[in-house]
Chains A and B, each alone.
Chain A
Amino acid sequence: MELSALVGAVEPPQLLPARLQMAFTLGFHIILVPFGVAFTFMMLICQYRGLRRGDEQALVLARRWSQVAAVLFAVGAVSGTVLTFELGILWPGLMGNYGAAFGFPFAIEGLFFFLEAIFMAIYIYGWKRLPAWPHFFTGVVVTLSGIGGTASVIAANSWMNQPAGIVMRDGRVVDVVPSEVFFNGAFWWETVHMLLAAYIVAGFGVAGIYAWGLLKGRHDYYHRMGFLVPFTVAAIAMPLQFLVGDTIARQVFDREPAKFAAIELVPTTGDHVPETLGGILIDGQVRYGIDIPDAASILAGFSPSTEIQGLDAIPAEVRPDDSLVNIVHLAFDVMVGTATLLLLLAAWFAWLWWRRREVPTNRWFLRGASVAGLVALVSLESGWVVTEVGRQPWTVVGLLLTEDAVTTEGNLWPLFAAVLAIYVCVAAGAVVVLRGMRRRWQQAGTDAVAVPYGPERAPATGPRTDGVDDA
């Protein structure tokens, strides 16, 4: 890449709408991912308990959760498909030049997604007439495919952060080392980070709904278990996430210095770099932040004399704008801040559980727990902002500038408007559907429950096939 040729280049007009649309559709899709990847695991825990101990309430929970998972999985599947279209329509420069290199992890993801879709269908529609344990194992396949699929997508994404395994000639990819592409430098930790995030978001999100019920005085066994299973999963994942996140930060320090400089808001290279909480960059100067002396250097290299490359070490032609740096830095602060709150909540839960061995009744704890899902979602979204915006101005770090990846075709604003409109409808529809489910379940109560397994006992009230009305 001739950097000098880029000096003074005008940003293509498609860049802004393309980035906004990609950010919006990815941000939307990522909300649904935890429910395909991690929610199914919690469902299986309940089902396992139900089958092992003959616990009918646990089976009811598992079955109802599977219906929620079905709706969210459907929306996730179609919004994920839109992303595959967008990769080509919005970023032909990326797919045309590097599709041969980093495209194949998506093929592997397609494989996992195929398995997931097949077994998800068998699981969801198999409650009535499949034998119990085979049915349970179809759910296990769903959970495992979710993990495999996540790893594959992250392989492609992390490759854009730390590209490896390609041979270039005349600006074209002429050969590929598949294993180096897939297991690139950023692959393992980013994958674990995303998987833990999925379990945290789904766990806190689902538990929050039952925490709300507990607050409202519905302190029965059903609500206690509905709270306990997902919250425990998330509470266990939370401290692990801190360890993983910390490791990743140090890895970014080693291998993606530009991103690290933006994350830590370091304008000039040097040692004894303070950790800046909040604050923004204006004309190359950090303003309004709270500095913790030496902390950034210590966190990066365990010593205050650790030198950190600043933004000034990036060649001026490819140095990100102040606004991009600010977005990355503030998103990072939000991610760590929200995660810290969640860690405290998890610790509080551990403390309460250790003392009483029962679901906490402390109202402030339950209030916290009922919003923990939203907080976790904010954390997840800001984490993605850090990694995606933190790569700018590169799409593939060091190889492809975002402005060269974007399409030059057509006016993208109408397309973005259409996407926005349709996604708003889909989101509203999903909310209506989920609220409707909850209302029906509340009316049905938890005592009058049909055993999910075995042949239908009573004649069904109608030839409905989705099972929504018989739980």
Chain B
Amino acid sequence: MSTLIAVVLFVGVIAYALFGGADFGAGFWDLTAGGRRRGHRTRELINSSVSPVWEANHTWLVFCLVTIWTGFPQAFTAITTTLYLPLGLAALGIVARGAGFAFRHALADHPLERISGATFALSSVLTPFFFGTVAGGIASGRVPSAGHGDPLTSWLNPTSFLGGGLAITVCAYLAAVFLTGQARRDAHTAMEEAFRRRALGAGIFAGVVAVAGVFVLHADSPRLFRRLSGVGAPLLIISALCGLAALLLLRRGRPLVVRTLAAIAVAAVVAGWGVAQYPYLLGTHLTIGEGAAPTATLWVLFVVSCVAAALIVPSLFLLYTLQLRRRLG
């Protein structure tokens, strides 16, 4: 049962990485879109594609947090008492980002519009970085079972920085792929071409970071490296192949196929992390079974997840379909 809930938790993490990640990446492109006039079209595209969906995408984070604290309370407090600095910074980033985005929307032609836009864009880049360092800290076993690990080295270390860098590049890559499709649906050729180039650049960059990461992990987190190159290897290969295929098909492939390939590439990396951790929640010292809540609690979580699958998935499908068919806005 505890493994099942761990899988549910990881599905949430993957969903947040995909949907939340694409939104964060949109903020990255917003930040780098250029000045007020030059970046106007880009920001418009980002606005219209992110506005209706970002709150739903953000909810995956809440889902992950409540699942971990209910299902694995000991691991949750171990993480929060160790990695409270990057977590606190990420929380602040989330406030700045959400408020900045919502306000920019409503502040058309107001002097504060640019400030709130910049806040949104900047925190869109910083927040995934902090989440990445958290993931790196957990993955490299720097969170002790009893918590209260080193507040600095737990996230200021090579693996965490790899996680942070990978988070930013992966988000940018995902967003560029999604926005290419969006621009194509809008029959906005120039924009489509611009985002295709960005997707290529970000994809290649993410690949480079990932390859560099191999060496980082080898030196900094030997166990993670071993597991990733062992049981995790098939997933990483899938990820690399899908990522490559998505980049090659970017020009001519159908948007849906390209988007799916890009999503699989990202999901496979995150899943690889999960597989490499198994059967441990934290390092090699707290297993999923040891850290789990009583069975009754896990059952409630399981039932809630089933209800969520029955209610949320069709609702999300409805939201995305309406959005893609341009019925919202």
Contacts and interface: CB of A to CB of B under 8 A. Distances in A.
Contacts of B147: 92, 96
Chain B contact-residue range equals 35 or more
Interface in A390-415: 407-410, 415
Given A87-B69, A95-B69, A178-B296, A122 B328 contact: yes
Contact of A81 (B44, B94, B294, B316): B94
B328 A99 contact: no
A125 B325 CA distance: 13
B52 A409 contact: no
Interface stretch (B101-109, B190-198, B242-250, B256-264): B101-109
Contacts of B108: 464, 466, 468-469
A85 B44 contact: no
Given A122-B322, A422-B95, A410 B87 contact: no
Contact of A111 (B76, B95, B304): B304
Given A78-B95, A99-B70, A106-B70, A429 B58 contact: no
B271 to A, nearest CB: 22
Contacts of A122: 52, 318-319, 322, 328
Given A88-B79, A114-B312, A407-B81, A465 B48 contact: yes
Contact of B319 (A67, A110, A121, A467): A121
Interface in B131-170: 147-148, 151
A17 interface: no
Contact of A114 (B51, B65, B308): B308
Interface string A93-121: 10111111101101111110111011111
B327 interface: yes
Contact of A110 (B66, B90, B107): B66
A101 to B, nearest CB: 7
A197 to B, nearest CB: 23
B230 interface: no
B70 A103 contact: yes
B294 A173 contact: yes
13 contacts: A71-B103, A74-B99, A85-B87, A88-B79, A99-B76, A99-B293, A100-B70, A114-B62, A121-B53, A174-B294, A409-B81, A429-B99, A468-B108
Interface of B: 44, 47-48, 51-53, 55-56, 58-59, 61-63, 65-67, 69-71, 73-74, 76-77, 79-81, 84-85, 87-88, 90-92, 94-99, 101-103, 105-108, 110, 112, 116, 147-148, 151, 293-297, 299-301, 304, 307-308, 311-312, 315-316, 318-319, 322, 326-329
Given A78-B98, A100-B294, A465-B44, 13 more contacts: A77-B58, A81-B62, A89-B81, A95-B76, A107-B301, A114-B312, A115-B315, A119-B315, A122-B52, A129-B328, A426-B95, A465-B329, A466-B51
Interface of A: 67, 70-71, 73-75, 77-82, 84-89, 92-93, 95-101, 103-104, 106-111, 113-115, 117-122, 124-126, 128-130, 173-178, 407-410, 415, 418-419, 422-423, 425-426, 429-430, 432-433, 436-437, 463-469
